[in-house]
Amino acid sequence: MTHSLTAEQVQLQDMLRRVAAERLAPRAAAIDASAEYPQDMFELLCELGLFRLPFSADYGGMDSSLASCIAVEELGRICYNTAYLLVVQWTPFSAIHAGGTPEQKARFLPGLASGAQRAAISVTEAQSGSDVAGIRTRARRDGKDYVLNGAKIWCTNALFSDFILVAARTGDGDTPGTVNLFIVERGTKGLTIGRKEPKMGARGVPSSPLFLDDVRVSEDNRLGEEGLGFKIVMEAFNKARPVIGARGVGLAQGAMDHAIEFVSNRRAFGQQISDMQGIRWMIADMAIQISAARNLVYHAASAVDAGISGRELATLSAIAKCHATDTAMKVATDAVQLFGAAGISDEYPINRYFRDAKVLQIVEGTNQIQRNIIARNIIGGSRKA
């Protein structure tokens, strides 16, 4: 049995299941094949008011991480890239919500909620991905401004963003306390967004390098107090991770749906493949893993909604993200196997699920890093262990 949902959440789930079948299913393969940003899907999400889901009622939202997970799961079951459009918007939202001043919230959150503004977050650099505290981009104080210099990689959505939250180091130390986040608005002099990265998965939402050459940002655009940037990023990731887990649940469910359809229509050795016990057990194992993952994700999302934070939320979110995205990879791999050679062919959708699943084990903290967080919180030890 799955975590119980409210009537409103069930209604949302039903509506999205219908929308995904009618509007996303005809587009999913083409978005992946062309690797073009799905502007039509972005407009559909705006029309349905889905960007608002995690926002409070002040912004017309449901204030619900669980509802956000349901949306990402249902859309991601059919089209990973469309679900990704929600997620890339919600990570900067979590950061501004967690660490922004009232003025910053008033300036940026309404646009993010409606979709009138798009955003991205940029932490990763060539020499430091998992090790956030190892970033080298500098923010030098100059009166009431900061001047940013450095280079970033893998900034997803940057090409379509009105502003980007850029992590930069103030001061000379290399401790997490010197990492800060700055809101860099599109068109700011000195900011260059590079060409999109060719990717094997998540192909519809581009990831690009950023080059910051004397980018001047007012102190009004620093998120939170100086020195709190690292903490804000970590808190934002803790809140966003159940949603990444939901992408894993949706992907795994979609891969299993395709696998069941395929084995139900394929024969070998004079019988239906779906009647063979070895095949039936593979499908049963998929269902077991997906059910466990869904419950972990809903549990972590409910913890966000209940206001749980700090170490407890970090552990729950890391468990949910890690298990759900490992499940996505396992289920997608087994689903390709069940398709036989057809699993490798572009004629069938299943290899898309396989490629997208791999991305999930790497983004928003790799699954090794999730295991480090879990182990640290239950055994103790340093941030590097």
Ligand X SMILES: Cc1cc2nc3c(=O)[nH]c(=O)nc-3n(C[C@H](O)[C@H](O)[C@H](O)COP(=O)(O)OP(=O)(O)OC[C@H]3O[C@@H](n4cnc5c(N)ncnc54)[C@H](O)[C@@H]3O)c2cc1C
The answer to whether the CB of 87 falls within 8 A of the CB of 251 is: no
Q: What residues contact residue 198 under an 8 Å CB cut-off, 6+ apart?
A: 35
State the nearest-atom distance from the C-beta of 162 to ligand X, in Å. 15
State the nearest-atom distance from the C-beta of 17 to ligand X, in Å. 26
CA distance 341 to 310: 47
Which residue, 28 or 164, is less far from ligand X as judged by CB?
Answer: 164
State the nearest-atom distance from the C-beta of 164 to ligand X, in Å. 9
Helices first, then strands: H and E counts in the chain: 11, 9
Distances (CA, A) of 167 to 208, 283, 360: 15, 43, 22
Which residue, 234 or 362, is less far from ligand X as judged by CB?
Answer: 362
Which residue, 145 or 197, is less far from ligand X as judged by CB?
Answer: 197
Q: Which of 73, 74, 235, 364 is catalytic?
A: 364
Which residue, 67 or 373, is less far from ligand X as judged by CB?
Answer: 373
Q: Both tokens of residue 145? A: 């401004």
Which residue, 208 or 274, is less far from ligand X as judged by CB?
Answer: 208
Q: Which residue's Cβ lies closest to ligand X? A: 129
State the nearest-atom distance from the C-beta of 130 to ligand X, in Å. 3
CA distance 228 to 244: 24
In the complex, the residues that contact ligand X under the rule CB under 6 A are 120-124, 129-130, 154-156, 199, 202, 207, 359, 362-363, 366, 368-369, 372, 384
Question: In this structure, which amino acid lies at residue 64?
Answer: S
Which residue, 178 or 372, is less far from ligand X as judged by CB?
Answer: 372
Find the helix or strand (DSSP H, E) in which 211 lies: strand 207-218
CA distance 312 to 276: 44
Kindly report the number of other CB atoms within 10 A of residue 143's CB atom: 7
CA distance 375 to 385: 9
Please tell me whether residue 256 adopts helix, strand or coil conformation. helix
Nearest to 92 by CA among 259, 227, 243: 243
Does 364 qualify as catalytic in the annotation?
A: yes
Enumerate the β-bridge partners of residue 169: 138, 179
Rg (CA), the chain: 21
State the nearest-atom distance from the C-beta of 322 to ligand X, in Å. 11
Nearest to 342 by CA among 334, 330, 331, 350: 350
State the nearest-atom distance from the C-beta of 363 to ligand X, in Å. 5
Residues forming the active site: 364
